[in-house]
Amino acid sequence: MRVAILTNIESPYRTPLFNAVADRLGGELLVVCAGEREPLRFWQHQAVQRRFYVRVLPGLHFSWLRWEWSLHLNWGLGKTLRSFDPEVLVIGGYDQPLYWQGLWYARRRRIPTVLWYESWQESARARRGPVFALKNFFVRYTTLGLAFGTLAAAWLRQIHGGSYPIVITLNTVDMDFFRKQAWVFRQSPEFALWRATYPSLLLLYVGSFARRKNPVVVLEALRLLQNPEIGLLLIGAGPQETELRVLTREYGLENAVFFEGYRQQWELPRFYALADVLLLPSLREVWGLVVNEALAAGLYVLCSTKVAAGHDMIQPGWNGDLFEPTDVEQLAHLLQRVRNNLAALRERRGAISEHACREFSIERAAERFVEGIQLARQSQ
C-alpha cells in the first residue's frame, strides 16, 4: 500500500513514528512537507536512517510570532502525488493551503483521506463563526479522523457534528530512548557530583519562553515558597527570556533558577536524569510531548489543565498532578507536597517509566496509525 502524508515540516520527533508506520504498511510511505523549518523550532536533524521518502515542496513562507503561526504557499503537490500515486492520503490538519489542495486532489481521484488531527477544544482558536464553518466543511469531506488522544477525538466529533469514524491514536516520541538515556546518565560515575550542585528538589521546564507557555507562573510559585531546597532548570529560548531573567533577580531566585539555554532533543535526557519533577504550565497546548519524555525518564509531572497530554497520561497522585495554569497558590501547594514526598516519588521512578514506555510507545502509536489508514482504504 502506498500512503502519502501531508504535514507542515518534518519534525525530528516524528521520524521514529514514520519509520514504524512504514514498517507496518508493507508498501511505501511518502511524507510531503510544506516547509523545512518554522520560527521557534530550533530542531536539528540527526543522521537517522529513514524508511520513508520525504519531499519538501517549493513555496513562499510567512510567519507571525504573535500568533505562533506560519503560512506556507506551496506549488508542485499535484505533480508529486501523481508521480507517487497514493492509495490513501493522510492530511495533517486544515490550516495550510497544502491541506486543502490535498483534499481537493483526493476528492477528484476518489482517494480515501485520513485527517490526522491533534487539536482540541481548549487549544482551538476558532470555536464558532466562519472559520469554524470552514473546519466543519473540511472535516466532512474527509473519510476518517485519526485523533491524538481522547480530547482531540471529542473536539473532532463536535466539529463534524454528525456520525464520523475516528481512530484514537497516541501522540508520542521514542519513549525507550529517553528511558535508556536517562538511566545511563543516572548510573554514570560523575552523576552524583553533578547532581549535588543543585538543590535537593530539582524542577525542570522544557519549552519555548513564550507567554502561551506561561513559564512566569513557575517563578511566581517559587517566590511564594522561598524554599532554598527547591531549584528550577529552564531549558529553552524565546521572546520572554529577558523578562524571565529580570523576574528571577526581582524575586530573589538567583541561586534557585538555572538557565541552561536551548537544547536539542538528544541532549535532553541528561536534564531529565537530573530533575525530579517536570513542570508544563501552558495556557494553551495542543498536546505537550515533553510530558511523554519526562514520564519515560521516570519524572513526576505537574501539568496544566490546558495541556491535552495531561488528561490522557497523568494519573493524579501517582505519576503527576494537574493544576490551573493561572493559580499560583495551587501550584505552590503542589510543589510543597512534592517536596514533602520526594523520597517516595524517587522510589517510584522505575514504575512510572515502565508504565509510560509500555502504554505510550511508538509501536502502539504506529499500530493505531496504520489501523486508521486501513479502515479508510476499506471504506472506499
Q: Is 226 exposed, middle or buried (0-12, 13-18, 19+ CB in 10 A)?
A: exposed
Cα gap 237→8, rounded to integer Å: 22
Cα gap 105→379, rounded to integer Å: 18
DSSP-derived secondary structure for 249-312: HHTT-TTTEEE-----GGGTHHHHHH-SEEEE--SSBS--HHHHHHHHTT-EEEEETTBHHHHH
Residue-wise pLDDT for 249-280, tens only, equals 999 999 999 999 999 889 999 999 999 999 99
* Predicted pLDDT of residue 42: 60
Residue-wise pLDDT for 193-215, tens only, equals 999 999 999 999 999 999 999 99
Does residue 40 register a pLDDT over 60? no
Cα gap 334→343, rounded to integer Å: 15
Residue 215 one-letter amino acid: P
pLDDT mean over 226-233: 96
Does residue 44 register a pLDDT over 90? no
Band (pLDDT 50/70/90 cuts) for residue 85 is: very high
The grid cell for 47 is 543522521
CATH of domain 175-359: 3.40.50.2000
Residue-wise pLDDT for 117-151, tens only, equals 999 988 877 677 898 899 999 999 999 999 999 99
% of the chain beyond a pLDDT of 70: 97
Residue spans in the chain of domains classed CATH 3.40.50.2000: 2-172+361-379, 175-359
Q: Residue written as cell 505510550?
A: 360
CATH of domain 2-172+361-379: 3.40.50.2000
Band (pLDDT 50/70/90 cuts) for residue 70 is: confident
